[in-house]
Amino acid sequence: MDRFYWYDGNLNGGNERQVHNTKNVRLYDGDDKTTFDSGLLTLTNLRIIWSDEAQKDRKIALELDLVKKITSELGSMFKSAKTSIHLEAAPKDKPSGPKRSSSHNVVRFSFRVGGQEQFTKELNQVIASKEWEILKAASNQSKKTAELAPRHVGIGGIERKMQEKYEQTDQSINQAFKDLDALIEKAKDMVVLAEKCFHPN
């Protein structure tokens, strides 16, 4: 039960969608009954959500990436059908939930008015698809792209700055050569004038 966390009722943006739901489901922590006695069990492509049918704001959720194995137990006249979910260890950064720790690595859902077979079928299909891994990979790629984008802009800015500097330097050199040519022409004129002064006809 320590893998469950309190749920605010909002789906995860446009990435999360409802797959299936079943009413009147009780939760067990291992073989122990819990106070989560009669609720709506909702399966999405990312998690399982249990919602209290009497207290609408009492909701908990379990991330599907913690699921290791799923087993089923058929019902009878004297007991309800159950689906058991074997779980990975609780992540350290898990949001707060109904239990801080648990000695059980299994949670059970008891379907008191039926619906266990269809729910388990849908759950197995969602687990097999591992959509959360695809979404996580896409999110990581988007973050990398966002991190690289400013660098490209920075490099482009440096290249433009260097090009502008080169053009300015080139213009300065061209102007210097023009000034030098003009100075040489003036020097030639002065030489001619000097020769005329010292060697008059």
The domain 5-128 having CATH identifier 3.10.580.10: the answer here is no
User: Tell me, what DSSP letter sits at residue 194?
Assistant: H
- Say which range, 52-56, 107-111, 192-196, has the weakest mean pLDDT: 192-196
- Band (pLDDT 50/70/90 cuts) for residue 135 is confident
What six digits make up the tokens of 33?
């009954």
Contact 41, 21 (CB under 8 A): yes
For residue 118, give the nearest of 11, 22, 17, 42 by alpha carbon: 22
The whole-number average pLDDT for the span 179-190 is 68
Domain with CATH 2.30.29.30 in the chain: 5-128
Round to whole Å and give the CA distance between 67 and 183.
87
Round to whole Å and give the CA distance between 61 and 27.
12
Round to whole Å and give the CA distance between 59 and 98.
10
- Statement: the pTM of the whole predicted model exceeds 0.75: no
The whole-number average pLDDT for the span 40-54 is 96
